Amino acid sequence: MSNIESLVKAVTEGDETAAVQAAQVVVDEKIPVGAVIDALTGGMREIGEQFARMEIFLPEMMESAHVMKAVLKVLEPAMKEQSAFSEKKGIVVLATVEGDMHEIGKDIVMNLLEVHGFEVHDMGINVNALDIVNEAVKVGANIIGVSALMTTTMPQQRDLIEILKAKGLRDQFHVIFGGAPVTSEWVEESGADSWGENAAVAVKILENVTKEK
């Protein structure tokens, strides 16, 4: 097994100690970081696909994502030196709407987007619609994802659309809704751009959106 393969294996198995060690070996041996990043991205994509196939679940996916972040810290100096930063597919601001404390669905989407090469700014739960818009502007996002798990918090998703319109920013963002009670009818009625029926669907939609642009 090559050093890169050992690194990918450790990351996908969620073994932080082994992964960090393997990353250091890769750095010490001056293996081109671009190739390492490509291999890691492939490994994380496979993790996302395993999750969609229900071969793994949230703990395994979260562990791999956590280890991936630790590995990137080790690789960062070499990445800077070799200008090996891969281009992000898109910049996403994610949040669960105000009054809603559910976060697991949003977290799954966040992890899947990250492993598929998106830059994600997670604002957490119970977030005011205006704050979400302001954050999206601040970080230069092109996508806003808002989750609502209650029928009584879904109206906050529509509020976000109305705020974007009021500020003249509607065309700057692709807005995707998620959450168990959300339907395509609600997305249409509210004026959002798309509906992430589940996390895997959300990723596919956003990959297509960013390809088109």
Partner 1 sequence: MYKLWEFLERAHTGPFCENDEFTFKIFMPKVKEVVKKYNIKFDPNNPVPSDDDLADRVWKAAVELFLEVGVLNVDTHRRIMVSESELKEALYHYPGRFMVGQGSDVRLWENRHPEETKAPFCIFSPDITYDEELMLPSSIAYVQEPLADGVCGPILEESIGMKIKSGAPSEMSGVLQHAMTLRQACRMVGRPGMFMVAVGTAQSDTGQIAVSNEEWGVRTSDARLIGALTEFRIDNELMNKIAHLKQYGGHIGCLSGSIYGGYAGRAEGAAVLEVAYHLVGLTIYQGTFNNSFPFHLHYTSNSGREMLWLVSIKHQAISRNSRYLSTSNGFLNAGPGTEMVLYEAAAHGLASTVSGGHLWEAAPTHNKFRNYATPVEARMACEVGHAVAMQGMTRVKANEIVNKLLAKYENNIADAPKGKSFQECYNVKTVKPETWYLDMFKKVKDEVAEMGVEFPY
Contact between 152 and partner 1 (CB under 8 A)? Answer: yes
CB of 106 to partner 1, least distance (A): 11
Contact between 73 and partner 1 (CB under 8 A)? Answer: no
Structure tokens at 116: 């598929």
CB of 2 to partner 1, least distance (A): 30
Residue 205's contacts (CB-CB under 8 Å, 6 or more residues apart) are 176, 194, 196
Structure tokens at 112: 């899947």
Contact between 35 and partner 1 (CB under 8 A)? Answer: no
Candidates 72, 130, 150, 201; binder of partner 1 (CB under 8 A) is: 150
The torsion region of residue 123 among left (phi > 0), alpha (psi -120 to 50) and beta comes to alpha
Contact between 184 and partner 1 (CB under 8 A)? Answer: no
Candidates 13, 38, 130, 155; binder of partner 1 (CB under 8 A) is: 155
CB of 171 to partner 1, least distance (A): 25
Contact between 82 and partner 1 (CB under 8 A)? Answer: no
Q: Count the neighbouring beta carbons within 10 Å of the beta carbon of residue 77.
A: 11
Contact between 55 and partner 1 (CB under 8 A)? Answer: no
Candidates 45, 50, 91, 99; binder of partner 1 (CB under 8 A) is: 99
18 or 137: whose CB is closer to partner 1? 18
SS3 per residue for 112-157: HHHHCCCEEEECCCCECHHHHHHHHHHHCCCEEEEECCCCCCHHHH
* 13 SS3 class: coil
The Cα-based distances of 49 to 2, 22, 55 in angstroms read 23, 24, 9
CA distance 56 to 129: 33
Which residues lie across from 195 on neighbouring strands?
Answer: 177
CB of 55 to partner 1, least distance (A): 11
Structure tokens at 171: 């065309």
121 or 174: whose CB is closer to partner 1? 121
Instruction: Choose one: 51-59, 70-78, 85-93, 166-174; the region binding partner 1 (CB under 8 A).
Output: 51-59
102 or 174: whose CB is closer to partner 1? 102
Task: Give contact residues for partner 1 (rule: CB under 8 A).
Answer: 54, 57-59, 62, 66, 98-104, 124-125, 150-156, 180-181, 183, 198
